[in-house]
Amino acid sequence: MKYLFSFALLLCTAQVFSQTESKTPELQVVGVAELKVTPDLGVMNIHITAKDMDFGKSISKLNDKTNAIVRQITGIGFKQTDVKTVDFRVNENKIYRREQMIDSGYIASQSVQVEFKSAKETIAKILNTFSKGKTDFVLSFNFKLSDELEKKTKEDMMRLAVLDAQHKANVLAEAAQVKLKRIKVIQHGDGGYRPQPMQYKALDSRMASAESDFGFTPSDLHYNDTVSIVWEIEIVPTGHNLS
């Protein structure tokens, strides 16, 4: 009985070893893609504030300032329907004086936003218009990709990542004297498409005047993506042709 048990254990071990040995060898490679893309959309954001001791008057002053800003925007050539107002709020205006907080009325604020096709000439026109205005503001620009360009960029990134993985696999296979067979698994990154945040530039009325003659061109946005590919491989005996 003791010998029979030992023989059964040996047989089981041999089967496990045989299964391990018969498993098809694999090669896993991660392809990486990086792209620099010039944003094709700009977002103009104008932050407006108004102060008054009276709650209602602070809002009224804010509306007057906003209407003046909107008139300037439409004067540039934008439609009124292009203009969006966001982030409206009214806060108590507390100031610190003589070691105590003093109630100093209210601050009403909101932002006006316009999205436009990014072009240096358009930016220069915006800056030139607002540099001549009398309304206080903080002007900022964000730059991003349109839906169409973002979709194209994603697809280009995936293609480039696959090509990079294929190139690496070919180099490794040649160096290791193995032959690539069929692809078993393709996995698109761990987080997929990773764009950097939108480019941002803020200007007050004085700075807008300084840049109004020339405008500026937004920097390229940086994108990266990865893809993992697993190939079955064949061990080529020494002296045999890999092809």
For the chain, give the percent of residues with pLDDT over 90: 58
DSSP string, 10-25: HHHHHHHHHHHHHSPP
Q: What is the pLDDT of residue 15?
A: 36
pLDDT in tens, 144-167: 999 999 999 999 999 999 999 999
Closest listed residue to residue 35, CA positions, set 135, 157, 166: 157
pLDDT at 194 over 80: no
For the chain, give the percent of residues with pLDDT over 70: 78
| CB distance 165 to 227 below 8 Å | yes
Q: What is the pLDDT of residue 168?
A: 98
CATH class of the domain whose range is 41-145+198-213: alpha beta
**Within a 10 A sphere around the Cβ of 15, how many other Cβ atoms?**
10
Q: What is the pLDDT of residue 200?
A: 52
Q: What is the pLDDT of residue 6?
A: 41
pLDDT at 16 over 70: no
User: pLDDT-derived band of residue 89, with 50, 70 and 90 as boundaries?
Assistant: very high
User: pLDDT-derived band of residue 94, with 50, 70 and 90 as boundaries?
Assistant: confident
pLDDT at 140 over 60: yes
User: pLDDT-derived band of residue 3, with 50, 70 and 90 as boundaries?
Assistant: very low
Measured CA to CA, the distance from residue 160 to residue 147 in angstroms comes to 20
Domain boundaries in the chain? 41-145+198-213
User: pLDDT-derived band of residue 131, with 50, 70 and 90 as boundaries?
Assistant: confident
| pTM summary value | 0.71
